[in-house]
C-alpha cells in the first residue's frame, strides 16, 4: 500500500467517524437528500445491480439494498467494509481499490464512485478510477462520480466563523493547486475545478456527461444559520435552490460536492 493510501486508511480508521457524517450538518443533509434524489433519477429500476465504489460504511448502499437493488460495496478502508457488512440492512462489501476493481467487464447495471476521485492527487489515478468504473458497467449504464469543489473548504470556514489568516492563505493557494493541505483538516484529498472534472471524464471515455452541483449555492448560508431563528427556513430555501440550479454551469462549483453523471459507452 502506498503512503497516501495508508494515510487515508488511518484517517478513516482512527481520526474520523464517517458513519455519522451524513446526518450531521446542513451541508451533509443537503448532500444526502440531493444525492439520493439524483440517484433515483438516473439508476435503472430495482432490482438492478449497482456497484458502490468508495461506498464507505454504506450510507447509500443501505438505502439501495432497502429499495431492492443488488449492491456490492468496494472500499479501500477495511473498517468501512466491516461497518457496511454489519449495518442494517447488511451490505455485501469487499476491500478493494477504485483504480483496480476486482470485477468483470460490464457486470454491473450502474456504478457509483462517490469518494475515490477526491482522495486521489494524481490526474492519471483519477482517470484510472473513472476508466475502471466504466469498464465494469454495462454499455449505456450510468456511472456517477463525486468530486469536491475547489472552493468548498474556504467557503465552509467562512460560513462557520472559522476563517482566519491561515484559511485566507489556503483560499489563495487553492486557486492554483487543488491538493488539500491536510494540516488544515481532512486527509489526503484533491479538490476539483469543473473543467478538470469534465476533462477527466472525457479522458476516461465517459459518455453523455452532465455535471451537477449537489448542495446548491446556498448550502453555506444554511451552515451560517445553524442555531438561529431562520435555521429551518434557510435550509429549506437552500434545498429548493439546489434543485433549481443543480446543473446551472455558472453555479456548479459553488456546491460543496459535484456529481459527474454519465453513461458507459458502447464497446468498440
Ligand X SMILES: C[S@@+](CC[C@H](N)C(=O)[O-])C[C@H]1O[C@@H](n2cnc3c(N)ncnc32)[C@H](O)[C@@H]1O
Residue 81 engages ligand X in binding (rule: CB under 6 A): no
Which region among 50-58, 170-178, 207-215, 241-249 touches ligand X (by CB under 6 A)? 50-58
Residues between 22 and 41 with contacts to ligand X, criterion CB under 6 A: 22
Minimum CB separation from ligand X for residue 53, in Å? 6
Rounded-to-integer distance, Cα 207 and Cα 218, Å: 30
Judge contact between 238 and 216, C-beta under 8 A: yes
| Contacts of 117 by beta carbon, 8 Å cutoff, 6+ apart | 126, 129, 130, 145, 146, 147, 190, 192, 197, 200
On the question of a cis peptide bond just before residue 47, with omega within 30 degrees of 0, the verdict is: yes
Strand partners, 147: 258
Closer of 101 and 225 to ligand X (Cβ): 101
Residue 18 engages ligand X in binding (rule: CB under 6 A): yes
Residue 11 engages ligand X in binding (rule: CB under 6 A): no
Closer of 234 and 259 to ligand X (Cβ): 259
Closer of 81 and 224 to ligand X (Cβ): 81
* Number of amino acids touching ligand X (CB under 6 A): 20
Q: Which of 97, 138, 200, 223 binds ligand X (CB under 6 A)?
A: 97
Exposed/middle/buried for residue 134 (C-beta within 10 Å: 0-12, 13-18, 19+): buried
Q: Which of 93, 110, 114, 206 binds ligand X (CB under 6 A)?
A: 114
Residues between 188 and 247 with contacts to ligand X, criterion CB under 6 A: none
Q: Which of 30, 51, 64, 76 binds ligand X (CB under 6 A)?
A: 76
Q: Which of 43, 64, 77, 224 binds ligand X (CB under 6 A)?
A: 77
Residue 109's closest CA among 80, 88, 140? 140
Q: Which of 34, 49, 116, 235 binds ligand X (CB under 6 A)?
A: 116
Beta strands 49-53; 70-75: pairing state: parallel
H or E element, residue 70: strand 70-75
Minimum CB separation from ligand X for residue 164, in Å? 25
Q: Which of 29, 72, 119, 212 binds ligand X (CB under 6 A)?
A: 119
Exposed/middle/buried for residue 10 (C-beta within 10 Å: 0-12, 13-18, 19+): middle
How many C-beta atoms lie closer than 10 Å to residue 186's C-beta? 16
Q: Which of 51, 98, 110, 252 binds ligand X (CB under 6 A)?
A: 98
Q: Which of 34, 49, 50, 56 binds ligand X (CB under 6 A)?
A: 56
Burial 76-99 (b: 16+ CB within 10 A, else e): bbebbbebbeebeeebbbeebbbb
Minimum CB separation from ligand X for residue 56, in Å? 3
Which region among 82-90, 113-121, 169-177, 225-233 touches ligand X (by CB under 6 A)? 113-121
Judge contact between 249 and 118, C-beta under 8 A: no
Residues that bind ligand X (CB under 6 A): 8, 12, 18, 22, 53-56, 59, 75-77, 80, 97-99, 114-116, 119
Amino acid at each position: 500500500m502506498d503512503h497516501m493510501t495508508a494515510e487515508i486508511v488511518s484517517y478513516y480508521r482512527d481520526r474520523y467517524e464517517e458513519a455519522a457524517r451524513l446526518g450531521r450538518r446542513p451541508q451533509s443533509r443537503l448532500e444526502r437528500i440531493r444525492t439520493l434524489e439524483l440517484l433515483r433519477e438516473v439508476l435503472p429500476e430495482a432490482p438492478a445491480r449497482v456497484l458502490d465504489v468508495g461506498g464507505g460504511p454504506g450510507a447509500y448502499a443501505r438505502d439501495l439494498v432497502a429499495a431492492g437493488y443488488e449492491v456490492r460495496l468496494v472500499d479501500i478502508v477495511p473498517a468501512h467494509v466491516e461497518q457496511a457488512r454489519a449495518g442494517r440492512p447488511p451490505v455485501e462489501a469487499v476491500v478493494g481499490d477504485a483504480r483496480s476493481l476486482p470485477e468483470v467487464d460490464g457486470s454491473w447495471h450502474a456504478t457509483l464512485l462517490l469518494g475515490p476521485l477526491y482522495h486521489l492527487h494524481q490526474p492519471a489515478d483519477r482517470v484510472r478510477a473513472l476508466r475502471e468504473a466504466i469498464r465494469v458497467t454495462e454499455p449505456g449504464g450510468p456511472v456517477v462520480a463525486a468530486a469536491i469543489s475547489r472552493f468548498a473548504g474556504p467557503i465552509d470556514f467562512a460560513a462557520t466563523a472559522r476563517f482566519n489568516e491561515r484559511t485566507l492563505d489556503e483560499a489563495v493557494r487553492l486557486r492554483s493547486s487543488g491538493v488539500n493541505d491536510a494540516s488544515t483538516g481532512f486527509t489526503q484529498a484533491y479538490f476539483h475545478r469543473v473543467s478538470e472534472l469534465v476533462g477527466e471524464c472525457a479522458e476516461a471515455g465517459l459518455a453523455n456527461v452532465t455535471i451537477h452541483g449537489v448542495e446548491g449555492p446556498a448550502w453555506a448560508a444554511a451552515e451560517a444559520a445553524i442555531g438561529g431563528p431562520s435555521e429551518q427556513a434557510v435550509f429549506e430555501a437552500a434545498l429548493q435552490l439546489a434543485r433549481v440550479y443543480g446543473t446551472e454551469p455558472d453555479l456548479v462549483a459553488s456546491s460543496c460536492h459535484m456529481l459527474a453523471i454519465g453513461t458507459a459507452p458502447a464497446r468498440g
